[in-house]
Structure 1
Amino acid sequence: MSIVLKRIYDEPPQLGGHRILIDRVWPRGISKEDANLDEWIKEITPSPQLRKWFNHEQEKFEGFKKAYKEELNQYAKQKKLQELKETSVNERLVLLYGAKDKQYNHAVVLKVVLDEM
């Protein structure tokens, strides 16, 4: 099937697919009921140190992308990534994130990694 990225604030819950929040912190203003999630996976998010360093600053994105990919190479994260990839074969995978910037965020990097698997 496919893997799609959607900003949780913009995405209508009725869109369908296996809905996964991929943020470490719950998005403000969104109730768990309204989010209509199948999963909330914190384990594959960037480390708090990396997230704070990046701070969604566009000029740091290349360094962030490289460091985040290295973090995703850890065994525990690889196992979860493989599960996500397998899910995407059978049904649409909707990866939800809260970042305002739709181009420079960890979800973009995560999708690239999953697409390359």
Structure 2
Amino acid sequence: MSVRVRRIYDPPEPDDGLRVLVDRLWPRGVAKDAAHVDKWPKGLTPSTELRRWFHSDEGSYAEFRGRYEAELGAPEAAELLDGLRESVRKGPVTLLTASKKPEQSHASVLAELLEG
């Protein structure tokens, strides 16, 4: 199946499939009804501490990825990840983020885990 990452600010497309917001906070300037978000599993997002650490430019993306994958091993996150994997088996899933660099964000880590 197909998993892709897009910015929430991009308009929805017909082939998006299930649209999942993977940010802990609702993106600024985006109306909830216009975003067409189907799911918002906040438990899959990086912890506040990890986000702050990563955005402080203290560590590398590789280190962020390792720390984030460790957080995804927690019971709640693992359960949500399994549920999202089930959705991927049923059809296309688009992970939505407000990140300016989605290719170097938690959303891309999730996409790789879901496809693997």
Does the TM-score normalized on the shorter chain lie above 0.5? yes
State the partner residue of 1:107. Answer: 107
Distance in 1 separating the partners of 2:80 and 2:40: 12
Give, in whole Å, the separation in 1 of the partners of 2:56 and 2:114. 21
CA contact (8 A) 2:2 2:115 kept: no
Give the secondary structure class of the aligned counterpart of 2:44: coil
Taking the aligned partners of 1:56 and 1:4, their CA distance within structure 2 comes to 27
Distance 1:99 1:58 in 2: 18
Percent of residue pairs identical: 38
Per-residue CA deviation, residues 48-103 of structure 1 (Å, 9 max, x unaligned), is: 00000000749621110010000001121111111101111111111100000132
CA distance in 1, matches of 2:9, 2:81: 24
| Contact 1:56-1:104 within 8 A present in 2 as well | no
Which has the higher mean CA deviation after the structures are superposed, 27-36 or 105-114? 105-114
1:64 aligned residue: 64
Aligned to 2:13: 14
Aligned equivalent of 2:49: 49
Quick one: distance in 2 between partners of 1:87 and 1:95? 12
Aligned in 2, Cα 1:56/1:31: closer, same or farther, shift over 3 Å?
farther
Distance 1:60 1:20, change over 3 A: same
The letter for the 2-side match of 1:43 is G
Q: Which runs of 5+ in 2 are unaligned?
A: none
> Which runs of no fewer than 5 residues in structure 1 stay unpaired?
none
After superposition, the CA RMSD in angstroms is 1.6
Given that 1:56 and 1:105 are in contact with CA atoms closer than 8 Å, whether structure 2 keeps it comes out as no
d(CA) in 2 for partners of 1:2, 1:24: 23
Q: In the alignment, is residue 85 of structure 1 matched against residue 89 of structure 2?
A: no
Whichever residue aligns with residue 112 of structure 2, its letter is V
